[in-house]
């Protein structure tokens, strides 16, 4: 499983324009790198501030709709907030 995270973007079968992108929110530059995990939406997110990077994924939970979650669990509120910012960025990009 770890090997999936270590694959370079160039090794993917299909490349997309949104593999790596950055935007500013709340005075911080947020850089997002889409991870090459088949049939999943997963980003490694780093910040220009002292905040630690976070890996987030879209997930479908039994008791709710699809939402963003952190991997590993424990930074759920942060994952949801960053996920919303990513959704807004990608929607405005189109």
Peptide bond into 73 cis (omega under 30): no
pLDDT tens digits for 12-59? 444 454 589 999 999 999 999 999 888 889 999 999 999 999 999 998
Its domain, for residue 65, covers: 2-93
Q: Domains in the chain: how many in total?
A: 1
Please tell me the distance from the alpha carbon of residue 76 to that of residue 69, in angstroms, as a whole number: 5
> Rounded CA gap, 5 and 42, in Å?
10
Nearest by Cα to 55 from 29, 73, 77, 81: 73
Give this prediction's pTM.
Answer: 0.75
Q: What is the pLDDT of residue 60?
A: 82
Instruction: Name the residue with higher pLDDT: 80 or 12.
Output: 80
* CA atoms within 13 A of residue 9's CA, in its CB half-sphere: 12
């Amino acid at each position: 499983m770890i090997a999936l995270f270590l694959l370079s973007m160039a090794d993917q079968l299909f490349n997309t324009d949104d593999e790596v992108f950055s935007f500013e929110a709340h005075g911080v530059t947020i850089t997002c790198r889409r991870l090459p995990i088949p049939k999943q939406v997963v980003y490694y997110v780093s910040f220009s501030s002292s905040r630690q990077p976070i890996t987030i994924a879209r997930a479908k939970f039994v008791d709710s709709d699809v939402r963003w979650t952190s991997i590993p669990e424990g930074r759920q509120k942060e994952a949801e907030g960053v996920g919303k910012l990513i959704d807004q960025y990608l929607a405005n990009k189109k």
